[in-house]
Structure 1
C-alpha cells in the first residue's frame, strides 16, 4: 500500500520504504494495468527522491576537510579545490 504523502515531503528513509512496497506490488503482477502505471510513476518519483538525497549527502561528505591529524576541520565549498 502506497501513501498519499507527497514525495517531496518524504525523508530518504520514508521514500526507500515506499519504493520497496511499490516494487513488491509491481513484481507480484496482481495489480490492474491502470494501477500498475500509477505505481510505476510513483516509483520513478520515489527513486529520483532517493537519488537526489544520496547525492546531497555525498556532496556534504565530500565537503568535509581534514586537518594534518586527520580530524575534521570544518567544511569548504564544493567548488574549492
Structure 2
C-alpha cells in the first residue's frame, strides 16, 4: 500500500494521523455543546477518517496475507 491514503479533499493522510483525528472527532461529539451543523460536519469528517483507517487496515491485511501465503518469503 502507499505510504498515505488520500482523503475526499485530495490530501494524503497516514493511518496514525487519521486515527488520532478520529479519536478527537468522537471525543468532541460525545462531549456535546456543538450546534447541529457543527455536529453534522464532525460526523461527516469522522466517517471519512474511518474510511481512511479501514483502507489502511485492509492494505495491511492484504500485505500480511500475501507474506504468509508466499513460502519463499523468509521461510527457512
Q: TM-score, normalised by structure 1?
A: 0.73
Q: How does 1:11-26 map to 2 (within 5 A)?
A: 11-26=14-29
Q: Distance in 1 between matches of 2:42 and 2:54?
A: 18
> Which of 42, 53, 71 lines up with 1:66 in the alignment?
71
Q: Which runs of 5+ in 1 are unaligned?
A: 1-5, 74-81
Q: Displacement of 1:66 after TM fit?
A: 3.2
Q: Which runs of 5+ in 2 are unaligned?
A: 1-5
Q: TM-score, normalised by structure 2?
A: 0.77
Counterpart for residue 43 of structure 1: 46
How many residue pairs align between the two structures?
A: 65
RMSD over aligned CA atoms reads 1.7
Instruction: Name the structure with the higher helix share.
Output: 2
- Structure 1 runs (4+) deviating above 2 angstroms are none
SS of 1:30's equivalent in the other structure is coil
